[in-house]
Structures are given as C-alpha cells and as structure tokens.
Chains A and B, each alone.
Chain A
Amino acid sequence: MTAVLSDVNAMVAGQGGDGSLTVITLLGNVLARRGFHLYSTRNVASRIKGGPAAALLRGSSEPRSGMGDDVDIFVAFDDEAIETVGSRVAPGGFVVYDSSAGPLPSGFLPEETTVIEIPFGRFAVRDLRRELFKNSLAFGVISRILSFADAEAAAVLEERFAARPELVARNLQALREGFAFADEHGFAENAGPIRLTDTPSEDRILISGNHAAAFGFLVAGVRFFAGYPITPATEVLEFMTRHIGTYGGAAIQAEDELAAVNMALGASLTGVRSLVATSGPGISLMQEGIGHAGAAELPLVVIDAQRSGPSTGMPTKSEQSDIGMLVHGGNGDFPRIVLAPGDPSQAFDLAVAATNLAQWIQGPVYLMLDQALSQDSVTVPLFDVTGVEIDAGLRLTQRQLDTLDEYRRYAITEDGLSPLAVPGMPGGMSLVTGNEHDEWGRVSTDPGNRAAMMDKRARKIDAVKDDLPKGLRFGDETGPVGILGVGMESGVMREAVERLAVDGISLAGLQPRTIWPVLDETLAFIASRERVYVVEHNHEGQLAQILASIGEANGSVRSILKYDGVPFTPGELIDRIVLEEST
C-alpha cells in the first residue's frame, strides 16, 4: 500500500561528524526540485565534534515555519540515535537502521514501525574504503521508500559533489548499493511505500533567520558591524565579515561585547548605519551601551538571537526569555523599539524597517530573534531587494545645514526628533553625551531642562508609531478566543489554529511584529476577547506580563509556556490549548 503525503518529516541521527546533515541536504534538494517547501533544523550539543546529533527536515506542499508532530522517515546511524530520538517516529513510520555496531535496541520505536536494518557503515568501509559513504547508501534507501526515480536521486548527489569530482563516482556507487538493498526489501524504483503529491515549483531560497536578517541589514545600508562570537548569533558576524567589505563597509570582531556595542556607537556617531548582533549574555553586557544610544540619541540596531538562560543557560537551545530585558533593560528611562520577525522573510523586512527606524528615532532598535528562528533554515520566496527604501530620517545634507542660522544637536522639537549633522560637516559641530544635556549637548542638571529633555526623547516614539510594523493576523478574526505569540511560535501557532479549525475550534490569531512599544492594535486584540493565550518560550510569561500590564486589566491574558529548550510541535500546542479550554 502506498501512502500519498503532501507533508513529510525526515530525521537523520548519529554522532556529530557522521554526516547526518548530508543525507538531509540531499533529500531537501529532491523535495525542493519537486516544489516542496522546506523547513530544516538540527539538534546538536554545544561542542565541536561528536556527541549525539540529529538533522531534521520537513517538506510540505504548504509553507510551514516549524517541524511536524512526528517523523515519517528516520535514518539512525547507531543505537544511541534510536534510544534518544526514536520516540519521535510516527506510527507507521519507516526506520532505516545502521546495524554495523549492533542489533536494533528494542522498546524505543512505536510498534507499527517498519524497520530496515542494514550495516551501512560496514558495507561502506568494505566496498568503498570510507565510512562516510554510508550517507549516500542511506540516501539510496530512503529515495526508494519515497518513490523517487533513481536518476532523480543520482542527479542531486552529482550536484552536491560537483565541486569534488573525485568523490562523485564512489558516492554514486554507494547510492546504487542503497538501491540494491532497497530492492532486497521490496522497494522498487518509483514504487515505494510513500509517494509525494505533485506541487508546483517556484523560485525559492533556503535561508536561516540569521542570514536573512544579516542580508536585510546589508541591503538597508548597514556599513558597520561589530560583534563577538556567541551562539546562536555568530552567523551574523560571519556573514558581515564575509560581505560588508564588498560594499565599502567595515566588520570588526571585538575583544568583548562592551567593545562591540561602543564601536557601533562610535561608527553611528559618524552617520554610518551600525549593527551589533549577540545573544542574551552579550545583551546583558551591552545594556550600558544600549542605554547610552538612548540618552546620547545615536541610531543603533541590535540583533538579539535569544537562547535559553539565565546566565550561560543552554547555548544551542531556543528560548524567548530576554523579552523583559529588551523592553525594560538598562538604567534609566529611554525610548527604544523592539521588533520581532516570525520567519526569514519577515527577518529581512524587519531588518530594513529596524535600520530606518533607528535613523528616525536616533536611538536603539532591537531585532529580536530566537535560536530556532536564527538557525533553522526555511524556504522562502526571493527577497525584494529593489523594493528596499533607504530612509535617512532627519539627517541633514550640507546644503540644508548651511541654510540654518544655528545648529543645535538636541533641538527640542514638537515631535522630539532633532535634525542630525555628523562629524565632517562644517557648521554642525556638537557635543554628544549620555549625561543629561541642553540642546547644544552641554552637560546640564537644570530641572526644567531635564524634564524637557526626558519628554522630548519620549515623544520620538509617538512620532514613528504609524511606521511601526503591524502584527499579522490569522485564524478566525471574529473568534472570542485569541492566540498570540512571536518569533519561533509564529509558524506553529498558525498550523495549530488551522488544525483546530478543522475540529471546529476557532481561534483568532495575532503575531505582533512590534513588541515595544505595544501597539494599540495588540491591546485592542486582547481587550476585545474573552481569553487570549500568549504562547512563549520562557518560565515567567514575560510577554504576557508586559501585555497584561500595559493593557486594560480585563484578566483575559493566559500563558502557554515552554522552557525545555525544544520548540512546540503543532500537536503539542493543540493539546495545550485544548487542555486550557477544557478547564
């Protein structure tokens, strides 16, 4: 019997360095050629090599920003893989087990699982003199299970090793051995137990949130980057180091996060669009500098790729527990904006928005990501680079400055925004300081000036409020029960709401893209509902607390929390909602 799937989840697990990712990449290439949308993630320990590692891939005819409930095909390179993640296999799923090191451990897989035991590793060493070829062998077997044409599988393998022609022949040989094993198990070409639906093909990219955001910042005109290596934000440093020089910019690997944020402040002072990227521990170290951007009125964009905390926490695991720090962190009151994309497309768009908004408010703007969003790769349509607009805010040209009788760096205006001249411009000389200051930037403790300056800075947020990215709605707009979440919750919330609707439970969904300031539309969404489930990955319900404290206290905010480092699956989130609704 053949199952026809429009949504397939695959997992390959073994020890780090086994090449699990290779099998997943090859599979992804076939699925992409067939028009499937991809979501790809990894489950690794924070170490360089070794240790249990799993690569997961979802291919679906609908775009999905997260993995499915369970795994249809599981390639396990050792017994530990079966023991640690075997429980994720779907009832009726297929397990391809490398029995080189021993027999299949019992009791870890669902009973209806079809297991194909083949000593891949031993055959690869015996026939091809290198264990790594077991990946192509395994790929051959799963190609047959998924009813791919043999030529189709061979084509992606050839493409994969195009840059290393010496490896192509032996990998193809390994692939053919895989086909032969599949034949022995009765999986003939084009006639496996699983067949995929036909899906129209589109031009897409497969990109992570970190890379999409970094690219967005580059296109938005960021020409200075400073960073310090930290998981899961390092890809931004690597992207900028690799690309920014092509466009006349500079990327610096600083000695620490204190240096990084202050370097960015210095660069911003000269009018160059500046970015830093880090994770929670680095954000903690940068708090003083970010407050300085608020007080001294310097445009600054900060990426926070959140990981589980507190302290060093679990560096490779996802969490959303910096929300309180981003919204309220730092000493003193200063205006700031916190934007939160839900997938790589949004990360690109909001990177552009964050850069322009920082120019307008001359202050700090956060782009809040989380490990899953930062590091998982998703297929998305090509970004519209020609549609990106560079908005310079109130940056003065020399001609504009020349027409002024006098220039005050911190001019108190109706909307709080002060025209900006930068070093190098004759007539624009100013004093920039994080001390309280008068309109000229001279240090002042005058009570009247102090109050006026605090009010001026606060007004800047009102001035840009209409330009802040609006939330994305889904589900039943009119439903009395709502669901709300950001970042890594965005895709899984949508999928859960779709599935609940099929079962007759309708929910109104909102994914705010601006977390701070809290937009009126967000408060209205909550105020007009009996209950709103705020889904987030932290222990204290940080986002829920903020929403409940800002909005009308109608008691409608309920938390659905997870803090084990693992994203929700749609089924898991559905269970939590149903449980809440039934109590």
Chain B
Amino acid sequence: MTATYRPVEPIWCAGCGHFGVEAALAGALADLVIPKHETLVLAGIGCSGTIQNNLGAYGYHALHGRVLPTAAGAWEANPDLTVIAAGGDGDGYAIGMGHLIHTFRRNPSFTYIVMNNGIYGLTKGQNSPTRQGTATIDAILLGLSVLETTFIARGFTRAPDQLRRLTTAALTHAREGRGFAFLEVLSPCVTYNDTYPVWEAEQLDLDADDGYDPTDRSAAFTRVVDLQSQNRIPIGLIYRDPAAESRSFVNPAASSIEPASHVESYMDVMSRYRI
C-alpha cells in the first residue's frame, strides 16, 4: 500500500469544542465503515478550517467563505465520494452566508458541519454573526424557510454521544442521496468566548422531547422561534423531510472524455452550425 501524509495534530486550544466535533466525525466515519480514500473533507478558513488535516482522508482547504460552492462542485463532479464540508460560523454565516441559502435551495447530497463558537478565534476574538448578546443569525431557521431543505440538526460538544449520532445521521442522509445534510454544532471557544456555561444552561434537547415531530416542518419552525424568544437553544434532530427519497446521480468523474467515443455526437452538434 502506498504511504501518504501523516495526519496532523490538531492546532486547537485545550478544551476547544472542535475536538468534540472531530471525535464525532471520526467516530461516524468509522461506524459507517467509509474508506478514507472515498472520503473528501473540505474545510473553510479559521480554527475549524484545519479539521481536514487530522483525519487521514482526502482533505481540501477552501477559500474563506467558499467551502460550500467548493464542496458542491466536488460532489457534482463525483457524487460517489462522501463529501463533507466543514467550517466555522464566521466562514459560513458571515463571508459565506450567501452560499448557504443557495445550497439549501439546490439540495446537493453532501454534509455540512458548522462549528459555531460565536467568535473569530484565529484572528483573536472578533464577534461573529452568532455572538451571544449581539444581533444574531439563526441558520436553522434560515434552512427551515427553504422548501427544498431535507435535513437540519444541531449538536453540542457537551453532548458527545448525541453529536456522534447526529453526525452519523447527517452522513447517512447525504450518502443515501436524500439531499443536503446541515449540522450545526455548538462548539465553544474556551479562549475568546467560553460559552460552555451559558449554552449548557440554554440548550434544550428536542431528541428527548417525545412530543416533538422532526418531520413536521411548520411545527419545527414554530418551536424554534418560540424557543428563541425564551433564550433557549434547541439541539438534536430539528427537521428531516420524510419525503426525501434516496436518489442516484450521474458521475462526471466516471464519464468518457475520449473524443473517439463521441465522434458522431460531436459531429451532430457541429452540423447545427452548417451553412
């Protein structure tokens, strides 16, 4: 077997939530027995944008804010890969926010994990669009407002078993061709914005609520809005479209590009221009 790069040690501070995200992702990939060479992890810019270095799979470091279109292109070009986009809240909800809504709309079958810590950690502590106590954005409500959305979940690194379960569910949803799997993880930055205590107090586990139906979009929307007004943060499986069917996709990476195999067809195209 050909030897490749040795995975890098995480750059994160001791206690960083991102360790929990990486553990959940590595665990889910192992649980689903996905070979490393069929796994492509793309990450944005920021502390979270180093997760791809640590897993031993194919890794890609996208431009700031552009992890979603990059992952979309990779998945469109080879949907047989398990494509996982990852990044922070600054990357995904500030500079890259425009792409998120269009990714919900297009519903490509890959997974996106946002490590939300409310802060720009790598540049040492500027506010992000999810900073507690400021005017914030809730990407889960955004996703619920798009009719094509098929999977939305939120995990918390303080609930590692649930996080691994949600990660596995997200990967499974995307790998089965059911559509875009969006997983936001509350992943505190212990150095610049230690939200462990406040998020522990505010989190509310919908998985533990027997009365909650994650297949009912309007109920989910109402519930999340209600909780928001009570300063509570829902975690768990928020929404899964029960009608999202398993689809298969054309694989451009496997297409034939030898002109000899298409000569007749190419000549047909050209003959439309004959005069």
Q: CB within 8 Å of B: which residues of A? A: 28-29, 32, 38, 203-207, 211, 215, 218-219, 221, 223-224, 226, 243, 245-250, 252, 254-256, 258-260, 262-274, 288-289, 292, 296, 379, 382-383, 385-386, 388, 390, 401-402, 404-409, 422-435, 440-443
Q: When chains A and B are docked, how far (Å) is the Cα of A204 from the Cα of B274?
A: 6
Q: A262-B66, A263-B69, A432-B61 are in contact. Are A424 and B253 (CB under 8 A)?
A: yes
Check if B252 sits within 8 Å of A256, measured CB to CB. no
Contact A430 B5 (CB under 8 A): yes
Contact status of A263 and B8, CB under 8 A, knowing A211-B273, A248-B255, A248-B256 = no
Q: Do the beta carbons of B253 and A271 come within 8 Å of each other?
A: yes
B5's partner among A388, A390, A441 (CB-CB below 8 A) is A441
Q: Is the CB of B53 within 8 A of A406?
A: no
Task: Give the residues in chain A near B60, CB-CB below 8 Å.
Answer: 266, 269, 296, 431-433
- For A409, list chain B residues within 8 Å (CB): 5
Chain B residues near A263 (CB, 8 Å)?
Answer: 69-70, 72-73, 76
- Is there contact, CB below 8 Å, between A266 and B81? no
B274 to chain A, nearest CB (A): 5
| B: contact size bracket | 35 or more
Q: CA of A38 to CA of B72 in the docked complex: distance in angstroms?
A: 42
Across chains A and B, which 10 residue pairs bring their CB atoms closest together, nearest first? Answer: A266-B73, A248-B255, A221-B257, A427-B2, A263-B73, A433-B61, A267-B77, A266-B74, A440-B5, A205-B273
Collect the chain B residues with CB atoms within 8 Å of residue A265's CB.
Answer: 62, 70, 73
- Report whether A402 and B2 are in contact in the complex, using a CB–CB cutoff of 8 Å: yes
Which chain B positions have C-beta within 8 A of A256?
98
Which single residue of chain A is at the shortest CB-CB distance from B38?
A424
Give complex CA distance A448, B1 in Å: 30
Residues of B within 8 A of A288 (CB): 63
Give residues 79-117 of B contacting A (CB, 8 Å).
Answer: 80-81, 98-99, 102
Q: Which residues of B contact A440 (CB under 8 A)?
A: 4-6
Q: How far is the CA of A386 from the CA of B258 in the complex (A)?
A: 10
Interchain CA distance A211-B269 in the complex, whole Å:
11
The answer to whether B36 has its CB under 8 Å from any CB of chain A is yes
Q: List chain A residues, Cβ under 8 A from B98.
A: 255-256, 259
A427–B72 CB distance below 8 A: no
Secondary structure of the A side of the interface?
mixed
A404 to B1, CA, bound (A): 8
Q: Which of A254, A379, A390, A402 meets B259, CB within 8 Å?
A: A390
Most buried by B among A245, A259, A390: A259
Asked if B42 is at the interface of the complex by the 8 Å CB criterion, the answer is yes
Interface residues of B in 232-275 (CB under 8 A from A): 250-260, 262-263, 265-267, 269-271, 273-275
Q: Does B252 contact A443, Cβ atoms closer than 8 Å?
A: no
With A427-B1, A429-B36 known as contacts, the answer to whether A270 contacts B257 (CB < 8 A) is no
Given contacts A265-B70, A270-B77, A272-B78, contact A423 B58 (CB under 8 A): yes
Give chain B nearest CB distance to A396 CB in angstroms. Answer: 10
Q: Does B52 contact A (CB under 8 A)?
A: yes
Is there contact, CB below 8 Å, between B102 and A259?
A: yes
Residues of A within 8 A of B62 (CB): 262, 265
B251: chain A residues at CB < 8 Å are 248
Q: Which residues of A contact B53 (CB under 8 A)?
A: 431, 442-443
Q: Which residues of A contact B59 (CB under 8 A)?
A: 429-432, 441
Residues 120-147 of chain B: 1 if any A CB is under 8 Å from the residue's CB, otherwise 0?
0000000000000000000000000000
20 contacts between A and B (CB under 8 A): A219-B262, A259-B69, A262-B66, A266-B42, A266-B70, A269-B70, A271-B253, A296-B61, A379-B275, A385-B259, A407-B2, A407-B3, A424-B38, A426-B37, A428-B58, A432-B58, A434-B63, A435-B61, A442-B53, A443-B61
Contacts of B254 in A (CB 8 A): 248
Residues on B with beta carbons closer than 8 Å to the beta carbon of A273: 257
Contact of A382 among B66, B250, B259, B270 (CB under 8 A): B270
Question: Is A270 a contact of B253 with CB atoms below 8 Å?
Answer: yes
Contacts of A249 in B (CB 8 A): 252, 255
List 14 other contacts, CB 8 Å, given A270-B253, A271-B253, A429-B4: A224-B252, A245-B250, A256-B98, A258-B66, A269-B70, A270-B40, A385-B263, A385-B267, A406-B4, A427-B1, A427-B2, A429-B36, A431-B61, A432-B60
| B35 interface hit (Cβ, 8 Å) | yes
Q: Assess the B36–A247 pair: CB atoms within 8 A.
A: no
Q: A486 to chain B: closest CB distance in Å? A: 24
User: In the complex the two chains form, is B265's CB within 8 Å of A246's CB?
Assistant: yes
B269 touches A429 (CB 8 A): no
Complex Cα–Cα for A312 and B161 (A): 53
Q: Is B225 an interface residue (CB 8 A)?
A: no
Distance (whole angstroms) from the CB of A35 to the closest CB of chain B: 11
Query: Are A429 and B76 closer than 8 Å at their CB atoms?
Result: no
A383 touches B270 (CB 8 A): yes
From B3, B74, B271, give the contact of A269 (CB < 8 A).
Answer: B74
B110 to chain A minimum Cβ distance, whole angstroms, is: 10
Q: Are B69 and A390 in contact (CB under 8 A)?
A: no
Closest-by-CB residue of B relative to A298 is B60
Q: What is the minimal beta-carbon distance from B148 to any residue of chain A, in angstroms?
A: 14
Query: B50 to nearest A CB, angstroms?
Result: 8
In angstroms, Cα B1 to Cα A402, docked, is 7
Q: Which residue of B lies closest to A244 (CB)?
A: B252
Across the interface, which residues of A come within 8 angstroms of B250, CB to CB? 245, 248, 250
Would A426 and B1 count as touching, CB distance under 8 A?
A: yes
Contact between B8 and A262 (Cβ–Cβ < 8 Å)? no
In the assembled complex, the CB of A10 is this many whole angstroms from the nearest CB of chain B, namely 16
Does B56 sit at the interface, judged by CB under 8 A? yes
Partner among A247, A382, A424, A435 whose Cβ is within 8 Å of the Cβ of B262: A247
Alpha-carbon distance between A390 and B256 when the two chains are bound, in angstroms: 11
Q: Does the CB pair A207–B72 fall under 8 Å? A: no
With beta carbons under 8 angstroms apart, the residue of A215, A266, A401, A442 that contacts B72 is A266
Q: In the bound complex, do residue A207 and residue B273 qualify as a contact, i.e. CB atoms below 8 Å apart?
A: yes
